[in-house]
Amino acid sequence: MPDPTRFAGQTVIVTGAARGIGEGIATRFAADGAKVLLVDLIPEVEETAARLGQKAFTCDVTARGAGEAIAKAALAAFGRIDVLVNNAGIGGSKKLLDSDDDLIERIIDTDLSAVLRVTRAVVPHLPQPGGRIVNISSTFGLTGYPGTTAYAVAKAGIAQFTRQLSGELGPSGIRVNAVAPGVIQTPMTMAHRENPFYMRVVVDPIPLERMGEPADIAGPVAFLASEDAAFVTGVVLPVDGGYLAARHGKL
């Protein structure tokens, strides 16, 4: 349950926070007492931030220098950065043989390369010890799911980036973890719900027999950023209603 003292005095950056999972994460951190900078490409981020009583920064995370600009905006707004949540991402992936150069480049750049660049720019501003990074991977990055190749490869990259960086930053006292969501009801997955193959293969076998909501991801993200997870780093936590553990488990 939200606790307004949990992140009191701390500041959190959430990318891709105008809507969907990012909005849910920003909402949870705000309810847990943090000051939040909501970053997004779309101007609606201003409304989302205003609704939460927080600050917005409109920015394309793939732009060169985006990480530096985000860090500067957070420091100007709050004077410090404690937590970075790399959530911004895009779908729209296809089978490899149906993916043109532009699609592959756009997905890998947004869902993987931009995360590395933004993180590299923000890390020097995190407290050492005490900084925390939470990345958003995907169950599609942890198991094969034909038809979303560039996306799945990027999200597998996020899982490995999380492990890699936990080793590089652990000695500085910065923890790096990831959440791998299963199917979450957001604008990104809206169209898939009309697709019978997706419903049969990805949704019907979920042991908890429902799709997730953004709040289902926000709680575990806040946990990984909290003191309760003080000895947890390098972990990629599936939050998927049991899909990876026991899909097709219904008899």
E strand residue ranges, the chain: 11-15, 35-40, 55-58, 83-86, 132-136, 175-181, 236-239
151 is a catalytic site residue: yes
- Angle between the 149-169 and 114-122 helix axes, to the nearest 10 degrees? 20
Residue 67 as a binder of ligand NDP (CB under 6 A): the answer is no
Q: Does 40 bind ligand NDP (CB under 6 A)?
A: yes
Distance CA 127, CA 80 (A): 9
Tokens of 249: 């488990």
Give the interface segment with ligand NDP, choosing from 60-68, 100-108, 161-169, 243-251 (CB under 6 A): 60-68
Tokens of 69: 């600009």
Q: CB 69 → ligand NDP: shortest distance, Å?
A: 11
Build a one-symbol-per-residue string for 111-150: x at contacts with ligand NDP by CB under 6 A, - elsewhere.
Answer: -------------------------x-x------------
Tokens of 227: 């003191």
x/- track of binding to ligand NDP for residues 181-210 (CB under 6 A) = x-xx-xxxx---------------------
- Which neighbouring-strand residues pair with 136? 179
Please tell me the distance from the alpha carbon of residue 44 to that of residue 48, in angstroms, as a whole number. 6
Total binding residues toward ligand NDP, as defined by CB under 6 A: 27
* 89 is a site residue for ligand NDP (CB under 6 A): yes
* Contact assessment for residue 59 and residue 67, using Cβ atoms and an 8 Å cutoff: no
Token pair recorded at residue 162 = 């999380």
Shortest CB 151 distance to ligand NDP, Å: 7
If one asks whether residue 42 binds ligand NDP (CB under 6 A), the answer comes out as yes
Q: Which stretch binds ligand NDP (CB under 6 A): 3-11, 177-185, 193-201, 231-239?
A: 177-185
Q: Shortest approach of ligand NDP to residue 128 CB, angstroms?
A: 26
Partners of 85 in the beta sheet? Answer: 14, 134
Binding site for ligand NDP (CB under 6 A): 15-16, 18-22, 40-42, 60-62, 87-90, 110, 136, 138, 181, 183-184, 186-189
